[in-house]
């Protein structure tokens, strides 16, 4: 199995222990994802130190305030590193509104351009308040307008848009929240994703799956999420593992 989205620099214990625990659980690859400049550097350092770890670099929408040319240049510079395999996470978050929406939009567009320039997938974070789809609608429209096809919808939580994503050829990555008792709709969405677009992740240290819910998450726990996704799809764990590993290898060229 692989973990296509974790934040090792935010997790405890340290990277060495996390990688060893993941390998013991059968997790062969980890994409550690940057949130800002400091976390981007930490992600690249982790990837340099561990064969199983690769990096994504970007600026999270909740930290998009003040995003400018210097920030874009720093991300662009790291994007050429041989172990950087994606840009992001980026997108729009209108649930928390941690940054002004115009700053989020500017950071999002700039990172999509960087991903396109380097031939890398863009890792998308998108979240709306309950009852709204403004951020989701805008993200889809922006990606369409920019002609972006190489997309990973991280922590997929918009079941009503699963077919729209599939039509565009975007990967849908499911996190620990798909395992929660009330997540029936999300499990139905996981069943609808075409075989070649399904991914799983932890978003560690966040969103620990149900067996360890309430505790800090880590890459080893992606197995519990994958088991639930497999069951939702009426497939064996081995079949799902093979699909996810093949999809991630194609998406991230590892």
pLDDT tens, position by position, 161-201? 999 999 999 999 999 999 999 999 999 999 999 999 999 99
pLDDT of residue 235: 98
The residue behind tokens 């972006």 is 148
pLDDT of residue 78: 98
Average pLDDT of the segment spanning 192-218 = 98
206: tokens are 């966040």
pLDDT of residue 98: 84
Instruction: For the chain, give the percent of residues with pLDDT over 90.
Output: 99
Can you tell me the distance from the alpha carbon of 108 to that of 97, in angstroms, rounded to the nearest whole number? 14
Please report which confidence band the pLDDT of residue 97 belongs to, taking 50, 70 and 90 as the band edges.
Answer: confident
| Cβ–Cβ < 8 Å for 196, 251 | no
Higher pLDDT, 49 or 96: 49
CATH number at residue 235: 3.20.20.140
217: tokens are 């998450």
Residue 220's domain comprises 2-252
- Quote the crossing angle between the two packed helices 134-145 and 101-118, to the nearest 10°: 40
189: tokens are 């969405």
* Number of structural domains the chain divides into: 1
Across the beta sheet with 53-57, the strand order is: 2-6, 29-33, 53-57, 84-93, 122-127, 151-153, 171-174, 198-200
**DSSP H or E run through 241:** helix 237-252
Could you tell me the pTM of the whole model?
Answer: 0.98
Q: List beta partners, residue 204.
A: 6
């Amino acid at each position: 199995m692989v973990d296509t989205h974790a934040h090792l620099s935010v997790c405890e214990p340290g990277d060495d222990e996390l990688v060893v625990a993941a390998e013991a659980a059968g997790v062969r690859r980890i994409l550690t994802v940057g949130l800002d400049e400091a976390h981007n550097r930490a992600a690249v350092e982790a990837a340099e130190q561990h064969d199983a770890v690769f990096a994504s670099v970007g600026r999270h929408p909740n930290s998009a305030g003040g995003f400018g040319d210097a920030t874009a240049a720093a991300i662009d510079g790291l994007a050429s590193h041989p172990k950087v395999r994606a840009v992001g996470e980026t997108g729009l978050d209108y649930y928390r509104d941690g940054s002004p929406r115009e700053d989020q939009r500017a950071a999002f567009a700039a990172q999509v351009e960087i991903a396109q320039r380097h031939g890398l997938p863009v890792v998308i974070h998108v979240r709306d308040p309950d009852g709204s789809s403004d951020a989701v609608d805008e993200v889809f429209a922006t990606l369409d307008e920019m002609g972006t096809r190489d997309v990973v919808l991280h922590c997929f939580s918009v079941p009503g848009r699963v077919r729209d994503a599939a039509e565009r050829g975007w990967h849908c990555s499911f996190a620990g929240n798909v395992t929660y008792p009330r997540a029936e709709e999300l499990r139905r969405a996981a069943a609808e994703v075409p075989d070649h677009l399904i991914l799983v992740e932890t978003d560690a240290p966040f969103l620990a799956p149900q067996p360890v819910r309430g505790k800090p998450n880590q890459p080893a726990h992606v197995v519990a999420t994958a088991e639930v996704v497999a069951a939702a799809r009426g497939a064996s764990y081995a079949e799902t593992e093979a699909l996810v590993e093949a999809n991630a290898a194609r998406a991230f060229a590892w």
